[in-house]
């Protein structure tokens, strides 16, 4: 394990390598505990580099077992090898030379799941960001690109499949029960995109004919027996390939595209060239075992990894500071894909919910960092929602500023200009400046300034002058390392709506640029006047969440209700309902804290129920409206001195009041939204299920007993309905005999399916209340619990720490202490996983003083432990700062 060296990497220190890598030729002789890796690397010294400069290669826990220069032995004084680096001197001044490096590594012992490891008897690799250096000594950085040849030798019976990037060259027997295969990837790539998979897997095959008529073989490899469960992933892959051709003109560029599903994986999936490796959670689905959310995730992640082929692989990052160059852009592309395949407004609502619940807390807490950071201690900790989701929002804003057509022209220029290169955010932005003539200097602050801008708005109508005056002000909060900030360029989509719901078009606008429906806020404060307004308008601001800000705009309940009823942008309707409801939830939390009665504004309840009952709206939209902000969302909005128990009581009370007022509507929806016929995962059917299960959750609030939820559980014929009913049983009636029986039934029915058992763990980990910790500890003693499996750990510990505020945050601090012990334990095996789960404590300063004190002590205990990984050290230090 890499323990902390305290070294910080700075963007300002970037410089190209001294040596240019021309070609890579790798030979793997696979063995579970002693895999021999021979790397033949051809380099030449870059022009103008000091002839005395040594070649320094990266390593991580490596042992050198052989080194040749142009096939000859090297005197030992010519090189220095440590586990972390190999330095070779007296190398040729101007001619190319070949280094042959041999290392022996132990895939079986690789519990970090970085580099070459074993999972379920399969050899597999994960090299992003710095895993390749755990395989061989190498210039392991994204700006070193080369074509790779890979030879794999392995026992044939155990490993009939030998896969790597690129196109298959050939294979043959190798004697002693072994065989070998050779692959060649002609597209120069950085080492983080290298992949190797070997083992015995089942396959689902198909083909795709590209827009220029080339046939590409498509293969998805899964555990034997799981082949039927990969059909949806294959369908999503073919739709992604087609969409990228139609929307961005991007064609696939190899003869074969492979996906391998593995059960031990630190993240969601990885875009290795031509050989994506996936967490099997994002490949396997059938109606009996996957929820609608699982199907949507599979579609999005298959698309995401495939889209990386152009945004990430063909054009890659110059250094890891540019991570958002590939991630923000590719998330934007996968969001657009899902919006086109499903419902655009519902997709946007889901994105914004996710952004607000995950990225906003990051951006307002101790882990806040710019979309394009300038320093890091551990790059693994920068695969964040800021880089991914805010990075996507920044890309979306460029598209908003330029308009769809110019944005596409800018993307075309980016692909043309930078194909085959490792580039920067500045290179990317320049393409859009060049095609539009717009100066994006101020806009680029979105990449450089951390924190969520706060925009304050107020409007006034002058009936005599027929003007509507909008005052806007922006405030950038201080974030770690950035005390003061400059005003940003904030593109706000907007509409003016008349009392009868029709759109009002101003005759002219002064005080700000308005292009189509986009108002440009560029100064710290701006007064915008809309002229020729015949009647008092209601302003809908930040339509479709065109900019990721906190908006303070004290609109009356009546105005919000009007937006919720008439806006043509359905995202804005949903936002208006949230804005109507949130003050009630916040007041309820304060009242619960004081022991006061909890009340709810009927205007909100009426508007919500009107949306729920409106058959002209998509069911999925109505389900989103009925899903009130979570307890964590309420805590974030309260902004400090938070008591999770009070928030829980408050939210439950409001839910109950909505349920009471809407019981007839919910009963009718529960009946009418039933889907008939064979299961289909399409968005419309999923929306009906979501609305029906939302109605069931409200009705169960009123029932006071689990009978209805139990009946729903018994009647369910797909995993969406089954897990929804089980969640209601467990979260609303945790002590009931029906819940105990259903949990047992669920466990026994799906005992053989790890992904479903993950759901079983997650549902129980989310049961609120102070006894949650004891339940978690009991679950950890069960035979199904597996410490080495990241999905299982995330299901149990991740759900507990991220999504159970009353259980995890119980008043005596036992939850925080427990997590600290677990983090220290996980860190010994898998630092990346430990660091990620630890980020659940990033908002500890928002807690009331007693809990905050307990949280701090637990964090200090981690911080004071010797031998922490760099990953955990980096997070704990920043959270405590």
Positions annotated as catalytic residues are 305
Query: Closest Cα to residue 275, out of 213, 181, 198, 208?
Result: 198
Q: Tell me the C-alpha distance between 242 and 303, whole Å.
A: 11
State the minimum distance, in angstroms, from the CB of residue 792 to ligand 0A1: 18
> How deeply is 779 buried, as exposed, middle or buried, from its count of CB atoms within 10 A (0-12, 13-18, 19+)?
middle
Shortest Cβ 115–ligand 0A1 spacing (Å): 11
Contact partner at residue 325 from ligand 0A1, Zn ion, none, CB < 5 to 8 Å by partner kind:
none
Measured CA to CA, the distance from residue 593 to residue 581 in angstroms comes to 19
- For ligand 0A1, how many residues bind (rule: CB under 6 A)? 14
Which CB sits closer to ligand 0A1, 383 or 415? Answer: 383
For residue 615, give the DSSP letter: T
DSSP string, 190-243: -GGG--EEEE--EEEEEEEE-TTS-EEEEEEEE-TT-GGGGHHHHHHHHHHHHH
Ordered alpha helix ranges (H), 423-550: 425-436, 445-448
Give the nearer residue to ligand 0A1 in terms of CB position, either 174 or 383.
383
User: Hey, what are 625's tokens?
Assistant: 């409206």
Select the span of 260-268, 345-353, 585-593, 786-794 touching ligand 0A1 (CB under 6 A).
Answer: 260-268
| Residue with token string 């041999």 | 102
240 binds ligand 0A1 (CB under 6 A): no
Residue of 165, 313, 380, 555 interacting with ligand 0A1 (CB under 6 A): 380
Choose the one of ligand 0A1, Zn ion, none that binds residue 267, judging by a C-beta under 5 to 8 angstroms depending on kind: ligand 0A1
In whole angstroms, give the CA distance from residue 443 to residue 428. Answer: 13
DSSP letters for 242-271: HHHHHHH-----SSEEEEEEES--SSSEE-
Residues 137 and 66: beta-carbon distance below 8 Å: no
Candidate segments 261-269, 417-425, 556-564, 584-592, binder of ligand 0A1 by CB under 6 A: 261-269
Q: Does 858 bind ligand 0A1 (CB under 6 A)?
A: no
What is the helix (H) or strand (E) element at residue 861, kind and residue range? helix 849-863
Scan residues 277-336 and list those touching ligand 0A1 (CB under 6 A): 304-305, 327
Q: How many CB atoms lie within 10 A of CB 828?
A: 13
Q: By CB under 6 A, which span of 1-9, 269-277, 624-632, 654-662 interacts with ligand 0A1?
A: 269-277
Give me the residue whose beta carbon is nearest to ligand 0A1: 267
Q: Does 690 bind ligand 0A1 (CB under 6 A)?
A: no
User: Which span sits near ligand 0A1 by CB under 6 A: 268-276, 392-400, 431-439, 458-466?
Assistant: 268-276
Please list, in sequence order, all residues whose beta carbon lies within 8 angstroms of the beta carbon of residue 609, skipping any fewer than 6 positions away.
658, 661, 662, 665
Which of residues 164, 266, 700, 839 is near ligand 0A1 by CB under 6 A? 266
The neighbour count for residue 521, using CB atoms within 10 Å, is 25
Choice between 316 and 400, CB closer to ligand 0A1: 316
Q: Which of 25, 185, 264, 271 binds ligand 0A1 (CB under 6 A)?
A: 271
Among 37, 105, 269, 368, indicate the residue that binds ligand 0A1 (CB under 6 A): 269
Nearer to ligand 0A1, 61 or 517 (CB): 61
Which residue from 383, 415, 461, 785 is in contact with ligand 0A1, where contact means CB under 6 A?
A: 383
Nearer to ligand 0A1, 127 or 561 (CB): 127
User: What is the closest distance, in whole angstroms, from the C-beta atom of residue 448 to ligand 0A1 in the complex?
Assistant: 22
Residue 126 in the binding site for ligand 0A1 (CB under 6 A): yes
Report the interface residues with Zn ion, using CB under 5 A.
327, 330
Q: Which is nearer to ligand 0A1, 240 or 544 (CB)?
A: 240
Does 97 bind ligand 0A1 (CB under 6 A)? Our answer is: no
Q: Which candidate, 467, 539, 461, places its Cα nearest to that of 503?
A: 539
Binding residue for ligand 0A1, selected from 30, 197, 258, 270, defined by CB under 6 A: 270
Q: Which two tokens stand for residue 239?
A: 């739709």
Interacting partner of 385 out of ligand 0A1, Zn ion, none (Cβ under 5 to 8 A depending on kind): none
Nearer to Zn ion, 271 or 567 (CB): 271
Instruction: Determine the Cα–Cα distance for residues 530 and 9; give it in Å rounded to an integer.
Output: 49
Nearer to ligand 0A1, 309 or 832 (CB): 832
Q: Which does 372 bind (CB under 5 to 8 A by kind): ligand 0A1, Zn ion, none?
A: none
DSSP-derived 3-state class of residue 81: strand
- Which residues, at least 6 apart from 465, have a Cβ–Cβ distance to it below 8 Å? none
To the nearest whole angstrom, how small is the minimum distance from the Cβ of residue 199 to Zn ion? Answer: 25
End-to-end CA separation in angstroms for the chain: 25
State the minimum distance, in angstroms, from the CB of residue 243 to Zn ion: 17
The region of 267-275, 355-363, 441-449, 583-591 touching ligand 0A1 under the rule CB under 6 A is: 267-275
Query: What does the DSSP assignment read for 798-851?
Result: IHHHHH-HHHHT-TTSHHHHHHHHHHHHHHHH-HHHHHHHHGGGTTGGGB-HHH
Piece of 265-273, 351-359, 551-559, 697-705 that binds ligand 0A1 (CB under 6 A): 265-273
Indicate whether 140 belongs to the interface with ligand 0A1 (CB under 6 A): no
- Measure the CA–CA gap between 372 and 363, rounded to whole angstroms: 13
Q: Which residues bind ligand 0A1 (CB under 6 A)?
A: 126, 128, 266-271, 304-305, 327, 380, 383, 832
């Amino acid at each position: 394990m890499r323990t902390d060296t305290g070294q910080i990497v700075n963007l300002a220190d970037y410089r190209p390598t001294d040596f240019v890598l021309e070609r890579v030729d790798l030979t793997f002789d696979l063995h579970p505990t002693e895999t021999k890796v021979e790397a033949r690397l051809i380099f030449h010294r870059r022009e103008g580099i000091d002839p005395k400069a040594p070649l320094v290669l990266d390593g991580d826990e490596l042992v050198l077992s052989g080194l040749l220069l142009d096939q000859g032995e090297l005197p030992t004084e010519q090189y220095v090898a440590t586990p972390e680096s190999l330095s070779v001197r007296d190398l040729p001044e101007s001619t190319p030379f070949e280094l042959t490096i041999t290392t022996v590594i132990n895939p079986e012992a690789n519990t970090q799941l970085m580099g070459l490891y074993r999972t379920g008897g399969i050899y597999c690799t994960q090299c992003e960001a710095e895993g390749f250096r755990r395989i061989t000594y190498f210039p392991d950085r994204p700006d070193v690109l080369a074509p790779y040849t890979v030879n794999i030798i392995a026992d044939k019976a155990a490993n009939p499949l030998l896969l790597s990037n690129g196109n298959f060259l050939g294979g043959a027997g190798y004697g002693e029960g072994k065989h070998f295969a050779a692959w060649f990837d002609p597209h120069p790539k950085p080492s983080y995109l290298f992949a190797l998979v070997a083992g015995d897997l089942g396959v689902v095959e198909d083909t795709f004919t590209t827009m220029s008529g080339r046939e590409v073989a498509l293969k998805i490899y899964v555990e034997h027996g799981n082949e039927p469960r990969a059909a949806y992933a294959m369908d999503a892959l073919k739709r992604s390939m087609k969409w990228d051709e139609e929307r961005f003109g991007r064609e696939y560029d190899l003869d074969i595209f492979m996906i391998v599903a593995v059960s031990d994986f630190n993240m969601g999936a990885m875009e290795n060239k031509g050989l994506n490796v996936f967490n099997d959670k994002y490949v396997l689905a059938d109606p009996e075992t996957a929820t609608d959310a699982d199907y949507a995730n599979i579609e999005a992640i298959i698309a995401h990894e495939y889209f990386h082929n152009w945004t990430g692989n063909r054009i890659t990052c110059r250094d890891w500071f540019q991570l958002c160059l590939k991630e923000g852009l590719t998330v934007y592309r996968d969001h657009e894909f899902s919006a086109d395949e499903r419902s655009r407004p519902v997709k946007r609502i889901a994105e914004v919910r996710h952004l607000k619940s995950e990225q906003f807390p990051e951006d307002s807490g101790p882990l806040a960092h710019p979309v394009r950071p300038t320093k890091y201690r551990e790059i693994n900790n920068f695969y964040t929602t800021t880089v991914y989701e805010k990075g996507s929002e920044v890309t979306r804003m460029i598209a908003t500023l330029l308009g769809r057509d110019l944005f596409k022209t800018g993307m075309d220029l980016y692909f043309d200009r930078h194909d085959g290169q490792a580039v920067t955010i500045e290179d990317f932005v320049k393409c859009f400046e060049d095609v539009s003539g717009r100066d994006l200097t101020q806009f680029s602050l979105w990449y450089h300034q951390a924190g969520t801008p706060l925009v304050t708005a107020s409007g006034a109508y002058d009936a005599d002058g027929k003007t509507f005056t909008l005052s806007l002000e922006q405030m950038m909060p201080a974030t770690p390392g950035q005390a003061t900030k400059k005003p940003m360029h904030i593109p706000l989509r907007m509409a003016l709506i008349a009392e009868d719901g029709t759109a009002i078009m101003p005759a002219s606008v002064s005080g700000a640029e308005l292009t189509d429906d986009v108002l440009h806020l560029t100064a710290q404060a701006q007064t915008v006047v809309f002229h020729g307004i015949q009647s008092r308008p209601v302003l809908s601001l930040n339509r479709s969440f065109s900019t990721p800000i906190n908006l303070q705009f004290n609109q009356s309940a009546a105005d919000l209700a009007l937006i919720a009823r008439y806006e043509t942008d359905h995202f804005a309707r949903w936002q208006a309902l949230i804005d109507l409801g949130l003050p009630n939830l916040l007041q309820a939390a304060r009242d619960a804290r004081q022991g006061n009665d909890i009340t709810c504004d009927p205007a909100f309840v009426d508007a919500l129920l009107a949306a729920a009952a409106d058959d002209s709206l998509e069911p999925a939209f109505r389900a989103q409206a009925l899903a009130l902000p979570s307890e964590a969302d309420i805590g974030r909005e309260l902004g400090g001195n938070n008591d999770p128990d009070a928030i829980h009581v408050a939210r439950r009370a409001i839910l109950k009041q909505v349920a009471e007022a809407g019981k007839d509507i919910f009963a009718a929806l529960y009946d009418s939204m039933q889907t008939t016929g064979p299961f289909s995962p399409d968005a419309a059917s999923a929306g009906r299920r979501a609305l029906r299960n939302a109605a069931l959750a409200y009705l169960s609030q009123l029932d006071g007993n689990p009978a209805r939820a139990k009946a729903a559980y018994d009647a369910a014929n797909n995993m969406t309905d089954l897990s929804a009913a089980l969640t209601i049983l467990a979260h609303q009636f945790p002590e009931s005999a029906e819940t105990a029986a259903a949990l047992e039934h669920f466990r026994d029915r799906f005992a053989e399916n790890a992904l479903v058992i993950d759901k079983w763990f997650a549902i129980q980990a989310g049961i609120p209340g102070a006894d949650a910790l004891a339940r978690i500890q009991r679950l950890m003693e069960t035979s199904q619990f597996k410490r080495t499996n990241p999905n299982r750990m995330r299901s149990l510990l991740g759900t507990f720490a991220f999504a159970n505020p009353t259980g995890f945050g119980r008043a005596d601090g036992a939850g925080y202490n427990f997590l600290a012990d677990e983090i220290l334990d996980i860190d010994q095996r898998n630092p990346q996983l430990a660091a990620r789960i630890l980020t659940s404590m990033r908002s500890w300063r928002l807690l009331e003083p007693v809990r905050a004190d307990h949280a701090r002590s637990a964090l200090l205990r981690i911080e004071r432990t010797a031998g922490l990984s760099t990953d955990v050290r980096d997070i704990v230090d920043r959270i405590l700062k």
